[in-house]
Amino acid sequence: MSLKLSVDEIVETLKRSSLTTVLVEGKDDVMVYRWIEDEIGIVNASFFPCGGRDKLLQVFERRDEFPDIRTIFVADKDAFVYVNPPDDYAEILWTNGYSIENDLYYGRQIESLLSNDEQTVFLKSLNSFVEYYAFEVQNYINGEEHCFRNHPQHIVCELQNEVKKEFLQEINFTKADEQIENNLKENYDVLIRGKSLFALLTRILSNSTREIKHSKLSLLEHCYRTHKSEKFIELITRIEEKISA
CATH number reported for the structural domain that contains residue 64 in this entry: 3.40.50
The pLDDT of 54-69, averaged and rounded, is 96
What is the average pLDDT value for the chain, to the nearest integer? Answer: 95
Is the per-residue pLDDT at 85 higher than 60?
yes
Instruction: Identify whether residues 113 and 76 lie together within a single domain.
Output: no
Residue 30 confidence (pLDDT): 85
Task: Determine the Cα–Cα distance for residues 163 and 156; give it in Å rounded to an integer.
Answer: 4
3-class SS at 30?
helix
Query: How many C-alpha atoms does 125 have within 13 Å on its Cβ side?
Result: 26
Q: Give the tens place of pLDDT for each residue, 124-135.
A: 999 999 999 999
For residue 239, the enclosing domain spans 7-104+230-244
The pLDDT of 211-225, averaged and rounded, is 96
Residue 26 confidence (pLDDT): 82
Residue 28 confidence (pLDDT): 72
Instruction: Identify whether residues 96 and 174 lie together within a single domain.
Output: no
Instruction: Identify whether residues 45 and 137 lie together within a single domain.
Output: no
As for how many domains the chain has, the answer is 2
Q: What is the pTM of this model?
A: 0.94
- 17 or 200, which is more confident: 200
Instruction: Identify whether residues 151 and 95 lie together within a single domain.
Output: no
Instruction: Identify whether residues 96 and 175 lie together within a single domain.
Output: no
* Cα–Cα nearest to 70, from 220, 187, 236, 242: 242
Instruction: Identify whether residues 111 and 200 lie together within a single domain.
Output: yes
Residue 64, strand partner residues: none
